Amino acid sequence: MPGTTERADISVVIPLYNEATTVEELHERLSHTLESMGRSYEVIYVDDGSTDGTTEILRRLHMKNPRVKVIVFNRNYGQHAAVVAGFEKALGGVIVTLDGDLQNPPEEIPKLIAKIQEGYDVVGGWREGRQDSVVRRVLSYAINQVTSLIVGVKMRDYGCMLRAYRRDVAERICQCREISSFIPVLANAFAGSVAEIPVAHSPRLSGRSRYTPFRLLRLSFDLLTGFSLLPIQAVSFAGILISFLGLGFALFLAVRRLLVGPEVEGVFTLFAILFFFVGLQILALGLIGEYVGRIYMEVRRRPRYVIKEALE
Protein backbone atom coordinates (compact mmCIF):
# COMPACT_ATOMS: atom_id res chain seq x y z
CA MET A 1 0.00 0.00 0.00
CA PRO A 2 1.32 3.50 -0.77
CA GLY A 3 2.26 5.66 2.16
CA THR A 4 2.42 2.91 4.79
CA THR A 5 6.13 3.43 5.49
CA GLU A 6 6.12 7.22 5.21
CA ARG A 7 6.15 9.45 8.22
CA ALA A 8 2.81 11.08 8.96
CA ASP A 9 2.23 14.25 10.91
CA ILE A 10 -0.53 12.69 13.01
CA SER A 11 -1.35 9.11 13.97
CA VAL A 12 -4.71 8.40 15.60
CA VAL A 13 -4.88 5.20 17.65
CA ILE A 14 -8.37 3.91 18.49
CA PRO A 15 -8.93 0.74 20.57
CA LEU A 16 -12.23 -0.96 19.78
CA TYR A 17 -14.22 -3.67 21.48
CA ASN A 18 -17.66 -4.51 20.07
CA GLU A 19 -18.25 -1.05 18.59
CA ALA A 20 -19.92 -2.13 15.33
CA THR A 21 -22.77 0.35 15.82
CA THR A 22 -20.51 3.41 16.06
CA VAL A 23 -17.29 2.68 14.16
CA GLU A 24 -18.52 3.81 10.72
CA GLU A 25 -19.88 7.12 12.01
CA LEU A 26 -16.68 7.54 14.04
CA HIS A 27 -14.53 7.00 10.95
CA GLU A 28 -16.56 9.42 8.85
CA ARG A 29 -16.34 12.20 11.43
CA LEU A 30 -12.67 11.48 12.16
CA SER A 31 -11.70 11.51 8.47
CA HIS A 32 -13.50 14.81 7.92
CA THR A 33 -11.71 16.36 10.91
CA LEU A 34 -8.26 15.15 9.86
CA GLU A 35 -8.73 16.17 6.23
CA SER A 36 -9.77 19.66 7.29
CA MET A 37 -6.50 20.07 9.23
CA GLY A 38 -4.44 19.82 6.03
CA ARG A 39 -1.84 17.49 7.53
CA SER A 40 -0.70 14.01 6.61
CA TYR A 41 -2.26 11.41 8.88
CA GLU A 42 -2.97 7.76 9.49
CA VAL A 43 -5.65 6.02 11.53
CA ILE A 44 -4.87 2.83 13.45
CA TYR A 45 -7.83 0.80 14.65
CA VAL A 46 -7.01 -1.92 17.20
CA ASP A 47 -9.74 -4.55 17.42
CA ASP A 48 -9.46 -5.89 20.96
CA GLY A 49 -11.15 -9.24 20.32
CA SER A 50 -14.55 -7.99 19.12
CA THR A 51 -17.30 -10.52 18.44
CA ASP A 52 -20.05 -8.29 16.99
CA GLY A 53 -18.82 -7.72 13.43
CA THR A 54 -16.46 -4.84 14.16
CA THR A 55 -13.60 -6.66 12.44
CA GLU A 56 -15.45 -6.97 9.11
CA ILE A 57 -16.28 -3.25 9.13
CA LEU A 58 -12.63 -2.40 9.79
CA ARG A 59 -11.52 -4.57 6.86
CA ARG A 60 -13.85 -2.62 4.56
CA LEU A 61 -12.54 0.70 5.84
CA HIS A 62 -8.98 -0.45 5.20
CA MET A 63 -9.78 -1.48 1.63
CA LYS A 64 -11.29 1.95 0.93
CA ASN A 65 -8.47 3.99 2.44
CA PRO A 66 -4.79 2.95 2.57
CA ARG A 67 -4.21 5.37 5.44
CA VAL A 68 -6.33 3.13 7.64
CA LYS A 69 -4.40 0.42 9.49
CA VAL A 70 -6.13 -2.39 11.33
CA ILE A 71 -4.75 -4.60 14.10
CA VAL A 72 -6.87 -7.54 15.23
CA PHE A 73 -6.15 -9.32 18.53
CA ASN A 74 -6.92 -13.01 18.92
CA ARG A 75 -8.90 -12.22 22.09
CA ASN A 76 -9.66 -9.36 24.47
CA TYR A 77 -6.54 -8.02 26.25
CA GLY A 78 -7.79 -4.68 27.52
CA GLN A 79 -7.74 -1.08 26.43
CA HIS A 80 -4.17 -0.25 27.44
CA ALA A 81 -2.68 -3.26 25.66
CA ALA A 82 -4.53 -2.16 22.53
CA VAL A 83 -3.14 1.37 22.81
CA VAL A 84 0.42 0.05 23.14
CA ALA A 85 -0.08 -2.10 20.03
CA GLY A 86 -1.20 1.02 18.17
CA PHE A 87 1.81 2.96 19.42
CA GLU A 88 4.14 0.27 18.09
CA LYS A 89 2.61 0.57 14.59
CA ALA A 90 2.25 4.36 14.54
CA LEU A 91 4.46 6.43 12.24
CA GLY A 92 3.22 9.90 13.17
CA GLY A 93 5.21 12.61 14.90
CA VAL A 94 2.23 13.19 17.19
CA ILE A 95 0.05 10.28 18.31
CA VAL A 96 -3.54 10.88 19.42
CA THR A 97 -5.62 8.30 21.30
CA LEU A 98 -9.37 8.23 21.09
CA ASP A 99 -12.21 6.03 22.35
CA GLY A 100 -14.40 4.27 19.82
CA ASP A 101 -17.78 4.95 21.42
CA LEU A 102 -18.02 8.61 20.25
CA GLN A 103 -18.17 9.94 23.81
CA ASN A 104 -14.92 11.73 22.96
CA PRO A 105 -15.80 13.73 19.81
CA PRO A 106 -13.06 13.45 17.15
CA GLU A 107 -13.72 17.11 16.31
CA GLU A 108 -11.71 17.99 19.45
CA ILE A 109 -8.44 16.64 18.01
CA PRO A 110 -7.31 20.00 16.51
CA LYS A 111 -7.39 21.52 20.01
CA LEU A 112 -4.96 18.86 21.24
CA ILE A 113 -2.64 19.35 18.26
CA ALA A 114 -2.63 23.12 18.71
CA LYS A 115 -1.73 22.74 22.38
CA ILE A 116 1.06 20.22 21.81
CA GLN A 117 2.59 22.56 19.22
CA GLU A 118 3.19 25.01 22.05
CA GLY A 119 6.02 22.69 23.14
CA TYR A 120 4.34 20.17 25.44
CA ASP A 121 5.24 16.49 25.36
CA VAL A 122 1.81 15.24 26.46
CA VAL A 123 -1.58 16.95 26.27
CA GLY A 124 -4.53 15.38 28.05
CA GLY A 125 -8.17 16.24 27.83
CA TRP A 126 -10.47 16.61 30.80
CA ARG A 127 -14.10 15.90 30.13
CA GLU A 128 -16.03 19.14 30.53
CA GLY A 129 -19.73 18.62 31.28
CA ARG A 130 -19.18 14.91 31.67
CA GLN A 131 -22.14 12.76 30.59
CA ASP A 132 -21.85 9.94 33.13
CA SER A 133 -23.68 8.82 36.25
CA VAL A 134 -23.00 10.42 39.64
CA VAL A 135 -21.48 7.21 41.03
CA ARG A 136 -19.09 6.95 38.11
CA ARG A 137 -18.04 10.59 38.39
CA VAL A 138 -17.40 10.27 42.13
CA LEU A 139 -15.29 7.14 41.66
CA SER A 140 -13.35 8.75 38.82
CA TYR A 141 -12.69 11.82 40.96
CA ALA A 142 -11.28 9.65 43.75
CA ILE A 143 -9.10 7.70 41.30
CA ASN A 144 -7.79 10.93 39.75
CA GLN A 145 -6.82 12.25 43.18
CA VAL A 146 -4.99 9.04 44.08
CA THR A 147 -3.26 8.91 40.69
CA SER A 148 -2.09 12.52 40.97
CA LEU A 149 -0.65 11.73 44.40
CA ILE A 150 1.20 8.65 43.13
CA VAL A 151 2.55 10.15 39.91
CA GLY A 152 3.31 13.59 41.30
CA VAL A 153 1.62 15.26 38.32
CA LYS A 154 -1.69 16.92 39.15
CA MET A 155 -4.35 16.29 36.50
CA ARG A 156 -8.11 16.57 36.63
CA ASP A 157 -8.88 13.58 34.41
CA TYR A 158 -6.50 10.66 34.03
CA GLY A 159 -9.31 8.53 32.62
CA CYS A 160 -9.98 10.56 29.47
CA MET A 161 -8.76 8.69 26.37
CA LEU A 162 -8.65 11.82 24.21
CA ARG A 163 -4.93 12.59 24.58
CA ALA A 164 -1.95 13.54 22.42
CA TYR A 165 1.63 12.29 22.80
CA ARG A 166 4.85 13.23 21.10
CA ARG A 167 6.46 10.30 19.33
CA ASP A 168 9.44 9.98 21.69
CA VAL A 169 7.11 9.64 24.69
CA ALA A 170 5.15 6.87 22.94
CA GLU A 171 8.41 5.09 22.09
CA ARG A 172 9.46 5.12 25.75
CA ILE A 173 6.08 3.66 26.71
CA CYS A 174 6.59 0.85 24.19
CA GLN A 175 9.95 0.06 25.78
CA CYS A 176 8.21 -0.74 29.07
CA ARG A 177 7.54 -4.46 29.02
CA GLU A 178 5.36 -4.87 32.10
CA ILE A 179 2.08 -6.70 31.61
CA SER A 180 -0.04 -4.29 33.63
CA SER A 181 0.35 -0.74 32.35
CA PHE A 182 -1.58 2.51 32.63
CA ILE A 183 -0.73 4.68 29.62
CA PRO A 184 -1.43 8.20 31.01
CA VAL A 185 0.64 7.48 34.12
CA LEU A 186 3.58 6.13 32.12
CA ALA A 187 3.39 9.09 29.76
CA ASN A 188 3.47 11.63 32.58
CA ALA A 189 6.41 9.79 34.12
CA PHE A 190 8.42 10.14 30.87
CA ALA A 191 7.22 13.54 29.66
CA GLY A 192 9.16 16.71 30.32
CA SER A 193 6.07 18.92 30.15
CA VAL A 194 2.40 18.04 30.46
CA ALA A 195 -0.72 20.13 29.77
CA GLU A 196 -4.43 19.53 30.14
CA ILE A 197 -7.27 21.19 28.24
CA PRO A 198 -11.07 20.91 28.46
CA VAL A 199 -12.73 18.76 25.80
CA ALA A 200 -16.35 17.97 25.05
CA HIS A 201 -17.98 14.78 26.27
CA SER A 202 -21.05 13.23 24.66
CA PRO A 203 -23.58 10.71 25.98
CA ARG A 204 -22.93 7.11 25.02
CA LEU A 205 -24.96 6.31 21.88
CA SER A 206 -25.25 2.55 22.36
CA GLY A 207 -24.32 -0.21 24.75
CA ARG A 208 -22.75 0.53 28.11
CA SER A 209 -19.29 1.27 29.39
CA ARG A 210 -17.00 -1.67 30.17
CA TYR A 211 -15.69 0.29 33.14
CA THR A 212 -18.26 -0.61 35.77
CA PRO A 213 -17.86 0.77 39.32
CA PHE A 214 -16.27 -2.54 40.34
CA ARG A 215 -13.78 -2.36 37.46
CA LEU A 216 -12.96 1.23 38.38
CA LEU A 217 -12.16 0.11 41.92
CA ARG A 218 -10.01 -2.69 40.55
CA LEU A 219 -8.25 -0.22 38.29
CA SER A 220 -7.53 2.00 41.29
CA PHE A 221 -6.08 -0.94 43.23
CA ASP A 222 -4.01 -2.02 40.21
CA LEU A 223 -2.73 1.52 39.89
CA LEU A 224 -1.72 1.67 43.54
CA THR A 225 0.13 -1.63 43.53
CA GLY A 226 1.48 -1.37 39.99
CA PHE A 227 3.07 2.08 40.18
CA SER A 228 3.79 2.68 43.84
CA LEU A 229 5.05 1.04 47.03
CA LEU A 230 2.85 3.39 49.05
CA PRO A 231 0.25 0.75 50.11
CA ILE A 232 2.77 -1.71 51.50
CA GLN A 233 4.75 1.12 53.09
CA ALA A 234 1.57 2.44 54.73
CA VAL A 235 0.80 -0.99 56.16
CA SER A 236 4.39 -1.32 57.42
CA PHE A 237 4.12 2.07 59.12
CA ALA A 238 0.76 1.07 60.64
CA GLY A 239 2.35 -2.18 61.89
CA ILE A 240 5.13 -0.26 63.65
CA LEU A 241 2.64 2.18 65.18
CA ILE A 242 0.35 -0.60 66.39
CA SER A 243 3.32 -2.48 67.86
CA PHE A 244 4.15 0.51 70.02
CA LEU A 245 0.49 0.92 70.98
CA GLY A 246 0.30 -2.77 71.86
CA LEU A 247 3.41 -2.50 74.03
CA GLY A 248 1.98 0.51 75.81
CA PHE A 249 -1.34 -1.27 76.33
CA ALA A 250 0.46 -4.32 77.74
CA LEU A 251 2.33 -2.11 80.24
CA PHE A 252 -0.94 -0.45 81.18
CA LEU A 253 -2.57 -3.86 81.89
CA ALA A 254 0.44 -4.99 83.93
CA VAL A 255 0.36 -1.89 86.11
CA ARG A 256 -3.43 -2.16 86.47
CA ARG A 257 -3.12 -5.78 87.59
CA LEU A 258 -0.61 -4.79 90.27
CA LEU A 259 -2.80 -1.97 91.54
CA VAL A 260 -6.29 -3.45 91.16
CA GLY A 261 -5.64 -7.19 91.10
CA PRO A 262 -7.09 -9.90 88.84
CA GLU A 263 -10.27 -8.88 86.99
CA VAL A 264 -12.36 -10.08 84.04
CA GLU A 265 -13.80 -6.75 82.91
CA GLY A 266 -12.91 -5.52 79.45
CA VAL A 267 -12.78 -8.96 77.83
CA PHE A 268 -14.86 -7.85 74.85
CA THR A 269 -12.64 -4.80 74.40
CA LEU A 270 -9.63 -7.07 74.20
CA PHE A 271 -11.42 -9.22 71.61
CA ALA A 272 -12.22 -6.11 69.52
CA ILE A 273 -8.58 -5.04 69.62
CA LEU A 274 -7.49 -8.56 68.71
CA PHE A 275 -9.85 -8.68 65.73
CA PHE A 276 -8.49 -5.33 64.54
CA PHE A 277 -4.93 -6.65 64.68
CA VAL A 278 -5.91 -9.83 62.83
CA GLY A 279 -7.68 -7.81 60.13
CA LEU A 280 -4.62 -5.65 59.67
CA GLN A 281 -2.43 -8.74 59.35
CA ILE A 282 -4.74 -10.19 56.68
CA LEU A 283 -4.65 -6.87 54.80
CA ALA A 284 -0.86 -6.85 54.93
CA LEU A 285 -0.75 -10.44 53.70
CA GLY A 286 -3.09 -9.59 50.82
CA LEU A 287 -0.94 -6.64 49.76
CA ILE A 288 2.20 -8.78 49.88
CA GLY A 289 0.40 -11.39 47.79
CA GLU A 290 -0.58 -8.74 45.25
CA TYR A 291 3.01 -7.60 44.80
CA VAL A 292 4.28 -11.19 44.65
CA GLY A 293 1.60 -11.99 42.07
CA ARG A 294 2.74 -9.10 39.90
CA ILE A 295 6.32 -10.32 40.12
CA TYR A 296 5.13 -13.79 39.08
CA MET A 297 3.28 -12.37 36.06
CA GLU A 298 6.32 -10.39 34.96
CA VAL A 299 8.95 -13.15 35.28
CA ARG A 300 6.94 -15.45 32.99
CA ARG A 301 7.67 -13.03 30.12
CA ARG A 302 4.44 -13.80 28.31
CA PRO A 303 3.45 -11.39 25.53
CA ARG A 304 1.07 -8.59 26.42
CA TYR A 305 -1.09 -9.45 23.42
CA VAL A 306 -1.20 -11.69 20.36
CA ILE A 307 -1.97 -10.14 16.96
CA LYS A 308 -4.23 -12.34 14.88
CA GLU A 309 -4.28 -10.10 11.81
CA ALA A 310 -2.64 -6.84 10.73
CA LEU A 311 -3.78 -4.83 7.72
CA GLU A 312 -1.27 -2.17 6.69
Q: What is the pLDDT of residues 49-65, one digit of tens each?
A: 998 889 999 999 999 99
92 strand-pairing partners: 8
Work out the end-to-end distance of the chain between its first and last CA atoms, rounded to an integer number of angstroms. 7
Mean per-residue pLDDT, 67-72: 95
Q: Is the pLDDT of residue 4 over 50?
A: no
Provide the pLDDT confidence category of residue 255 given band limits of 50, 70 and 90: confident
For residue 242, the model assigns a pLDDT of 75
Q: Is the pLDDT of residue 95 over 80?
A: yes
pTM summary value: 0.76
Of 230 and 161, which is predicted with more confidence? 161
Give start and end residues of each alpha helix (H) in 123-266. Answer: 134-151, 167-175, 183-190, 213-227, 230-260
Provide the pLDDT confidence category of residue 2 given band limits of 50, 70 and 90: very low
Helix/strand/coil for 3: coil
Alpha-carbon distance 233 to 179, whole Å? 23
CB 219 within 8 A of CB 211: yes
Number of helical H runs and strand E runs in the chain: 10, 8
For residue 156, the model assigns a pLDDT of 80
Of 219 and 33, which is predicted with more confidence? 33
Provide the pLDDT confidence category of residue 1 given band limits of 50, 70 and 90: very low
**24 sits in which H/E element:** helix 23-37
Provide the pLDDT confidence category of residue 230 given band limits of 50, 70 and 90: confident
Q: Is the pLDDT of residue 176 over 90?
A: no
Rounded mean pLDDT of the chain? 82
Burial annotation 233-271 (CB, 10 A radius, 16+ → b, else e): eebeeeeeebeeeeeeeeeeeeeeeeeeeeeeeeeeeee
The pairing of beta strand 8-16 with beta strand 41-47 = parallel
Of 223 and 92, which is predicted with more confidence? 92
Alpha-carbon distance 52 to 231, whole Å? 40
